[in-house]
């Protein structure tokens, strides 16, 4: 059996010459691994036709063009061609289709967080989560085996459009609508059994008093002009008093607080009985009677 040592992706591979002459042949330029040992093949991610890297550079360097394989009318870009990762083209196609379906139905894009049990906690029950996994697998198998392809693609497009994952006419990403209280993570209704999405309240400005009212309970400090006296006037407008952040109004407020503090405490009603104790006394343990040692 005749063998050839060829280089594929930087590695030397021993191949059967007869097999190489029948399978590793570019359908466009008819190059083989025998004539070009460094020959590399690329696969289209849309029609999955296989041609050599040189033909890809010649056909698609100028921009978008039709697939050069006879009978294919797909319009492709150069970025649509990639190095073949698996020997079987069908395996490459299946991996790409699964990646597309799973990427479209990615729950992380809906703002859901993965827990210890995966995304199971995002559903109402285990049955709903299993139904989602089955639906996702069904979509992938439909595209792989060309079953209900149009209906499956329509459901995926509607899911992307309803949740803001699609694209505008100019190619820009579609703006996702803001969530509303009581809204569901999936607005298209394709994924059943998802819990109601929690919408956090908008952030409010920082409040150093944490909601505690600044108003006093037994007095209100009036305008500063009402406390104007000769002594007060000489200190209020003295500039040196405000160098360290001192405020004369704060001094007046603190003075009133000290004057009125305690007026709301009524000792007669709040004071307990003279014999009341905070806690009962511990039981007294009788002491052992000491006796002389007979020895």
Structure-block tokens of residue 195 = 């819990």
Q: Are both 162 and 183 inside the same structural domain?
A: yes
Q: Which residue has the higher pLDDT, 70 or 14?
A: 70
pLDDT at 43: 93
Residues pairing with 123 in the sheet = 194
pLDDT at 135: 96
User: Does residue 225 belong to any structural domain of this protein?
Assistant: no
Q: Are both 33 and 95 inside the same structural domain?
A: no
pLDDT at 291: 56
Q: Are both 16 and 73 inside the same structural domain?
A: yes
User: Does residue 176 belong to any structural domain of this protein?
Assistant: yes
User: Does residue 146 belong to any structural domain of this protein?
Assistant: yes
Q: Are both 80 and 94 inside the same structural domain?
A: no
User: Does residue 249 belong to any structural domain of this protein?
Assistant: no
Once rounded to an integer, what is the mean pLDDT over residues 215-234?
Answer: 64
For 294, list phi and psi in degrees, rounded to 5: -70, -20
Q: Are both 78 and 99 inside the same structural domain?
A: no
pLDDT at 32 over 60: yes
Q: Are both 31 and 71 inside the same structural domain?
A: yes
Q: Are both 143 and 67 inside the same structural domain?
A: no
pLDDT at 226 over 70: no
DSSP string, 70-108: TT---EE-GGGEEE--SSSHHHHHHHHHHHHHHHHT-GG
Once rounded to an integer, what is the mean pLDDT over residues 230-242?
Answer: 69
pLDDT at 79: 92
Q: Are both 137 and 155 inside the same structural domain?
A: yes
Query: Could you tell me which of 265, 235, 274, 277 has the C-alpha nearest to residue 252?
Result: 235
Percent residues over pLDDT 90 in the chain: 30
Helical (H) or strand (E) element with 6 = strand 3-8
Residue after which a domain boundary falls, among 59, 84, 109: 84
CA distances from 63 to 26, 40, 57, 78 (A): 21, 21, 10, 7
Q: Say which range, 81-85, 94-98, 112-116, 211-215, has the weakest mean pLDDT.
A: 211-215
Once rounded to an integer, what is the mean pLDDT over residues 188-201?
Answer: 76
Structural domain of 152: 87-201
pLDDT at 270: 65
Cα 36 from chain centre: 48
Once rounded to an integer, what is the mean pLDDT over residues 126-151?
Answer: 94
Residue after which a domain boundary falls, among 50, 84, 118: 84
Q: Are both 65 and 98 inside the same structural domain?
A: no
User: Does residue 41 belong to any structural domain of this protein?
Assistant: yes
Residue after which a domain boundary falls, among 84, 119, 135: 84
* Exposed / middle / buried, residue 14 (Cβ in 10 Å: 0-12, 13-18, 19+): exposed
Q: Are both 149 and 188 inside the same structural domain?
A: yes
pLDDT at 239: 74
Q: Are both 104 and 78 inside the same structural domain?
A: no
Q: Are both 197 and 91 inside the same structural domain?
A: yes
User: Does residue 9 belong to any structural domain of this protein?
Assistant: yes
pLDDT at 74: 92
pLDDT at 259 over 50: yes
pLDDT at 23 over 70: no
* Exposed / middle / buried, residue 193 (Cβ in 10 Å: 0-12, 13-18, 19+): middle
Q: What is the CATH number of the domain that holds 78?
A: 3.30.40.10
Once rounded to an integer, what is the mean pLDDT over residues 72-101?
Answer: 92
Q: How many domains does the chain have?
A: 2
């Amino acid at each position: 059996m005749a063998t050839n040592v060829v280089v594929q992706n930087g590695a030397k591979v021993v191949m059967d010459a007869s097999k190489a002459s029948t399978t590793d042949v570019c359908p466009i330029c008819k190059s083989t691994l025998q004539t070009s040992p460094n020959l590399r093949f690329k696969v289209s991610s849309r029609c999955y036709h296989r041609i050599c890297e040189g033909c890809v550079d010649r056909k698609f360097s100028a921009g978008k063009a039709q697939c050069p394989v006879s009978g294919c009318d797909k319009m492709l870009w150069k970025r649509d061609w990639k190095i073949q990762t698996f020997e079987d083209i069908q395996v490459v196609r299946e991996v790409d289709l699964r990646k597309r379906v799973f990427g479209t139905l990615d729950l992380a894009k809906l703002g859901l967080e993965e827990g210890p049990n995966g995304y199971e906690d995002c559903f109402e029950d285990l049955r709903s989560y299993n139904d989602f996994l089955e639906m996702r697998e069904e979509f992938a198998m439909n595209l792989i085996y060309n079953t209900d392809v149009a209906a499956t693609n329509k459901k995926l497009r509607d899911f992307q459009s309803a949740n803001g994952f699609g694209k505008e006419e100019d190619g820009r990403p579609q703006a996702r609508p803001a969530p509303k209280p009581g809204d569901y993570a999936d607005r298209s209704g394709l994924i059943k059994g998802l819990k109601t999405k929690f919408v956090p309240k908008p952030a409010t400005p920082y409040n150093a008093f944490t909601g505690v009212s600044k108003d006093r309970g037994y007095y209100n400090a009036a305008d500063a002009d009402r406390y104007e006296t000769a002594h007060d006037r000489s200190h209020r407008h003295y500039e040196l008093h405000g160098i360290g952040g001192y405020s004369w109004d704060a001094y007046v407020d603190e003075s009133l607080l000290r004057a009125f503090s305690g007026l709301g405490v009524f000792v007669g009603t709040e004071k307990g009985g003279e014999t009341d104790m905070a806690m009962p006394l511990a039981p007294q343990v009788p002491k052992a009677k000491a006796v002389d040692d007979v020895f």
